[in-house]
Chains A and B, each alone.
Chain A
């Protein structure tokens, strides 16, 4: 058995060498729709429509946050994480493999209708990048930062802005889990003052900034801002590669449901987290890529039929993100549908006797409209 858990850490920087893990040959041969290729780097068109396995330890390490809730439940039920290789993801991976890191970071926007698999595509890309040894800045859902916030503090750094200590600390914790080794290697460039007594000297590892943010929750948002700035500057220099993965990027330019104490609405710029994130998403740095997803489900004040970038981002967001590479994600093709159906059948998720027949399959396809989310919900009670 090759070292699966260490695959992340031993991957050489600056090269495409990656260790491919094979399934143990003693297992019985999996059906057609599985592939034993666990490494996203090796996925090609012949793997399209097939499901590949991510070992559970990797899942915990790479995706402390970011997987859709239902998928996490599925992982718990089936005791394995199987992700389908689909064409938009393959397209993105091809772009990433061929991208020139000296150029400014290219922005990719994954868009599509509800429940077609945008977040899963993003997770696939994140997995690939973490296997390749990139530093992954994964924001699971930007909508969480603009709504349902219990505490808003006025920022000490900039009086006009508002801090969100809870969300920031949660994110810092997850960031720490996913990128442990980078935190030791990256050194701060500047001295940062956290209030009157505490400060971080120049040249200290970034891990200390993160600890600071976690310990002093009040300054967590500022810690996030510091992390983002450092990471951006250093990737610009080319010491490592940076992937900024934002899910629900349309939250950054929409409206918020938060209100200040005098009941006036808060606009997104007034939140420190959003402000810093916007700076990250601008393509004024090089040495990495920015992959974002639009999401209607969490979005505020947007009609449910909106799914194109123009509708969901609004004029401001569109101008800020322009130019970008749009990547549409569609419903399952017949082949993908068959492999998903076969997987459910194999794991005995579909218990109904009629579900095993051809008619049952046709019925499922019709009723779900080949939409991944609908299929998942339909197959639940069966």
Chain B
């Protein structure tokens, strides 16, 4: 199954754990010095105070001095602190005599095993604390951590933290251990430790606010909605107490949409709600072609009708697909092909 939308955290490849040092420490130090000097020069050039020149100011200055029309932000010219530019790497793990510093070096995955040991230590700690509390009285069950709003670190993020490669099996074992730790009743003692390995998931569901009905001079209720499809943009104003008359850009619906298919598209929201002859509609539409304009008006009218209708029916409309913006647009033509998918005629010789 191909993931369509992924967060940037998942997409970023881990560069830190690959191979020994590529840049020496002295090199990094020199880069930092050059960066600071460059920062002061830039501040001078822009006429601002070098002491209080923040990273945001640097970004703005660079964007001003080197304007670029490239779409990918990573491809544009940038000036950042070397620590952000050069990825973290593992320093050399053994001394001059060849003896490694860490006691778990010869396991091969020293940071992973040391992490597992640490976590298990905390686990035993919590159990001891729990036993103590049981001995004294009832164990305190403080509020459970809200696991719904947070997620554990992904494998790539963990690899970045540890600066060494992990296997899927290792990762899953670590996560299981963390979950066991967090599930204990007295896990609040090690709350800080656990929080190092969890992240907040931004609340993605945005509650769409349904606008209330507005009333015009005669007291007739109306509401507006906007819709788009391909390149067409439409706005619709739906009035109550109507006869089912529809005006598009000042002309009658029959004039603007001589094709039956377009008129059926316009009919759909009203028919779905069973309110065909009850509302009047005045809409404006521009751009796109005949079918795109019809789809745009359909979306706009469905959005406008939300204000007239109960929440349950809004949910029905959403499930029927009346309220979703159609994401399909014209696919780009690729070089070496005649169209987005069509290849040139293949000639054998």
User: Which residues of A approach B to under 8 Å, CB–CB?
Assistant: 305, 334, 359, 362-363, 365-367, 369, 371, 374, 378
Contacts and interface: CB of A to CB of B under 8 A. Distances in A.
A112 to B, nearest CB: 13
Interface string B237-271: 00000011000000011110000100110010011
B263 A367 contact: yes
A378 B277 contact: no
B47 to A, nearest CB: 61
Nearest to B258: A304
B254 A359 contact: no
Name the prevailing secondary structure of the A interface residues. Answer: helix
B313 to A, nearest CB: 16
Given A359-B276, A362-B244, A369-B252, 19 more contacts: A334-B243, A359-B274, A362-B276, A362-B277, A363-B267, A363-B271, A363-B276, A365-B244, A365-B277, A366-B244, A366-B263, A366-B277, A367-B260, A367-B263, A367-B264, A367-B267, A369-B263, A371-B254, A378-B260
Contacts of B252: 369
Contacts of A365: 244, 276-277
A369 B276 contact: no
B276 A305 contact: no
Contacts of A378: 260
A305 B260 CA distance: 18
Contacts of A369: 252-254, 263
B277 to A, nearest CB: 5
Nearest to B254: A369
Interface string B262-300: 011001001100101100000000000000000000000
A98 B199 CA distance: 90
B261 to A, nearest CB: 10
29 contacts: A305-B255, A334-B243, A359-B271, A359-B274, A359-B276, A362-B244, A362-B276, A362-B277, A363-B267, A363-B271, A363-B276, A365-B244, A365-B276, A365-B277, A366-B244, A366-B263, A366-B267, A366-B270, A366-B276, A366-B277, A367-B260, A367-B264, A369-B252, A369-B253, A369-B254, A369-B263, A371-B254, A374-B254, A378-B260
Nearest to B276: A362
Nearest to B260: A367
A186 to B, nearest CB: 45
Nearest to B274: A359
A215 B23 CA distance: 109
A75 to B, nearest CB: 25
Contacts of A362: 244, 276-277
B248 to A, nearest CB: 11
Contacts of B274: 359
Nearest to A371: B254
Interface in B205-262: 243-244, 252-255, 260
A378 B244 CA distance: 18
Nearest to B275: A362
A366 B275 CA distance: 11
Contacts of A359: 271, 274, 276
Contacts of B277: 362, 365-366
Interface pairs A-B: 4 shortest CB-CB: A362-B276, A369-B254, A362-B277, A367-B263
Most chain B C-beta atoms within 10 Å of own C-beta, residue among A334, A363, A367, A371? A367
A330 B254 CA distance: 13
A369 B277 CA distance: 11
Interface string B37-81: 000000000000000000000000000000000000000000000
